[in-house]
Amino acid sequence: MKKKFAGSLLSGLGLMLALSGSVWAAPDLITVTLSSPQTEYIPGQDNTFTFDVGMTYSGAEYVDRYQFVFPAGVTIVSATPASGGGGCGSNAGVQTICGSTVSWGKTTATCSGAFTPSGCGVYTAANSSFTVTAGVPAGFTGPMAVTLNSVGDGFTLPAGTEDSDAVTFAQGGGCTLTVACPSDQTASAPAGASGTVVNFPSPTTGGTCPGPTVACAPASGSNFNVGTTPVTCTATAVGGTPTAVCNFNVTVGNLATHQPVPAGSTFGLAALSLLLLGAAFVTLRRIG
């Protein structure tokens, strides 16, 4: 239970000292520390970070809000706050995502303006764990610092006691991606046709990159001309990098047909003569 009376006395004391010209430093009523079991991020894809937050507080000032700040260009996709809490009820408060920041507090925060206390502390747990999924652009390079800002509930000090900490992630080597094409394909086109439609099995991907896409040129279901056509398939990871390529061939031939013997040809007459002679020979043997 907060002691609002004691907080009012301290606030009044600070005001009197300020009016008398004295300089009064706010007591260190809350302290937050930030750490993460992860050490790297991978550009060009969504990264899920787990943050461990440690907190010490006095009996008169409680943490009112937490705010994680990622570098500009990084987009927060989703976040999961710590469970439990106290002071302002047993919940984590209202979550607000604003581009590269995510915060929790009693009321919905605005995406701009001062990060001010709401007058009711939320977190009293000594240690909390937060999960934040953020999309890191493919062109992002170098160390990535994430800052945790916090502010006291403002019962002791009208402006609230502020504290912050940061953790830095190194750029990782990225994910691996492979692609395997089907074996060479063969197909037959109708007699006299210039080509035919060919459908072939989809290439298979491997590696550690999540959700890669594969595109082949020409694509399966395209019309392939008679002859041999090379096919190139490219696998691409989310964000555009890395890529992997494989190749195979599609060979199309024409179906063979029986050609009629032209009337009056020498070959046709000779064949007919042999057939008649054979029939006559068989007939004579039967008579004799």
Per the document, the length of the chain is 288
Per domain, the residue ranges of the chain are: 4-171, 177-251
Percent of the chain scored above 90 by pLDDT?
37
Helix (H, G, I), strand (E, B) or coil at 273: helix
pLDDT mean across residues, the chain: 77
Judge whether 46 and 135 are in contact, CB under 8 Å: yes
34 pLDDT exceeds 70?
yes
Q: What is the pLDDT of residues 197-239, one digit of tens each?
A: 999 999 999 998 878 999 999 999 999 999 999 999 999 987 6
Give strand ranges (E) for 218-279. Answer: 222-225, 227-236, 243-254
Report the alpha-carbon distance of residue 32 to residue 66 in Å, rounded: 10
Judge whether 106 and 64 are in contact, CB under 8 Å: yes
The most confident of the ranges 55-69, 195-209, 268-282 is 195-209
Classify residue 3 by its DSSP letter. -
Report the alpha-carbon distance of residue 159 to residue 199 in Å, rounded: 69
Looking at the DSSP assignment, which residues form a beta bridge with residue 198?
222
Both structure tokens of 95: 């979550």
pTM above 0.85?
A: no
Q: Is 264 left (phi over 0), alpha (psi -120 to 50) or beta?
A: left
Least confident of 14-23, 136-145, 215-224: 14-23
Q: Mean pLDDT throughout 85-104?
A: 70
Secondary element (H or E) of residue 287: helix 266-287
Give the contacts of 179 (CB within 8 A, at least 6 positions apart): 203, 204, 205, 206, 212, 214, 233, 234, 235, 244, 245, 246
The whole-number pLDDT of residue 157 equals: 61
Helix then strand then coil, in percent of the chain rounded to 5, is 15, 40, 45
Classify residue 107 by its DSSP letter. S
Judge whether 232 and 216 are in contact, CB under 8 Å: yes
Whole-angstrom Cα Rg for the chain: 39
Alpha helices in 148-189 (DSSP H): none
- CA distances for 22 relative to 12, 16, 17, 158, 245, angstroms: 14, 9, 5, 18, 71
Judge whether 53 and 130 are in contact, CB under 8 Å: yes
Report the alpha-carbon distance of residue 213 to residue 199 in Å, rounded: 18
The whole-number pLDDT of residue 13 equals: 39
Decide yes or no: CATH 2.60.40.1510 for domain 4-171: yes
112 pLDDT exceeds 50?
yes
Q: Mean pLDDT throughout 82-104?
A: 69
Classify residue 32 by its DSSP letter. E
